[in-house]
Structure 1
Amino acid sequence: MRARLRIVGAVVAVVAAIALLAGAIVWFFAPRGGGGGAPAASEEPLPSWAPPAEPPVVAAERTGPGIGGIVDPAWLAATSAATGIPEQALAAYAGAAIFKAETMPACGLSWATLAGVGATESDHGRHGGSRLDADGTATPGIFGVALDGEGVALIPDSDGGEIDGDPDLDRAVGPMQLIPEAWRNWHVDGGGDGVEDPQNIYDAVLAAANYLCRASSAFHTEEGWRAGIRSYNVPEHYLGTVARYAVRYAEAVRAPTPAPTPTPAP
């Protein structure tokens, strides 16, 4: 039998949260005052979106708790080697994509797009020398800049520093750089360990996937993909950066088209 996903945790799917959070999850590691311009002349032009990637392979038998345990180990190892994405992070992206395909199939959110967001936001949990521990938690924790309005959004403190450690202003947290308001609305135990933590790659990726699929129900189309990623962050350069990563990851594992067999001469 195919392994089935069981997620322990609460997701507060409030429709009004979309309006509140649209554009409020920001590219917090971009240089102040930058990040939204066109690529340099020497750079390859950024794609406008990322078409659907080939879906990940579901494990025949669950290999562990949470979303990471439903991904086929052979697919995971081969795809990690082909893309350079660490296996823990890749298991989170692929597991979240499988979960959304089962629960919201119309969404069309791919593992490659989630990986593109994770690469852009935190280098798959490795920003600033952090690493993912055995449970998938970023160590040390990843915190974005204070959202003081200087080249970033102005977001006054909303959590008393409980989530982001800052009692004065909000900061994005974790591998997917969720602001406290986003985490409160979309918190989930993606790792299946009974703990909800925005610094955990499984929890953060599934929360981001739930948010994205509420923001757009058609990631398989260019319009839907752009609307969904724009809800995460508005600048065109951000959309292009996520798309570039996602396209590269998808192409790295896409099976090559067989060359046509020449017709023998009569």
Structure 2
Amino acid sequence: MATKRPNPSVHPSRHAQVPEEPRRKKQKPNNLGKKSFKKAHTVNDLKSQVRSLRRLLEHNDDLPPNIRIEKERALRTAQHELDEEQRAKKRSDMIGRWHKIRFFDRQKATKRLKRAKKELQGLESGKVEERQEAEKKVQDAQIDVDYAIYYPLDLPYKPLFPTKKNSKDGMNETQTGSEEPEDAEDKKEAERQGDAEMWAKVKQCAEDGTLDALRNGKLLGEANDDSGKLESPAPTMPSKRKRQKEKTEAGDLHGNRRERRAAQAAAKEESDQDSEDGFFE
């Protein structure tokens, strides 16, 4: 069944006399728009929450004990959430910064691994020493691939094969591998660099089967131990009124200004008399 055409508001014979209405742009509802600033920036919201809770605890000495305990607990929770958000943001920034360099290192290491395996297959009937050396090359090449993949994401990446570019003065400047990797078959293989301690750790984790934990930063010791604990908030400073009260109480113990001056004058006279008696003796 054909659809019915809409009934025009203007008769076709009067189209030349009546101007057409301008088309209005359809507006989306407010709830379908982009995220608000606070939702897109949860770190700022958490910072303001922590700041307000600390001010509340510092400047209100008359809070009931149950309210103070509740606010301190809320402060610890907000501080923990803020630390987690900042850690996640740092991790995301680190991944984006070193993604390209890690990709090129993985490509170079994969080429070396394929070449080493091919060389090992060609030595099936060769000498034992040559086969052992070729097997060691295969193992090292596999560790290089694991190094580029499972290097901890929370740490600044140290390239295995940084590229070298000639400067204007003719000197070689080492870069961080931002250029496209050269074919190793055409040129001599570059010497492996990177972090030697991390390379050895990757090798150990490959034997233990804990490479994923290393990549996610679960084997970094103290950095991982503190992530799952609620940190206690920083000690709040006593309020201004309380500090003034303590100051006045301390002043009462020593007397007012007039009494302190009189005591100082009496002590000075006694010391002068003692010195005169000792002189004439």
TM range (shorter): under 0.3
RCO (CA 8 Å, sep 6+): is it higher in 1 or 2? 1
TM-score by length of 1: 0.20
| Higher fraction of helix | 2
Q: Which has the larger radius of gyration?
A: 2
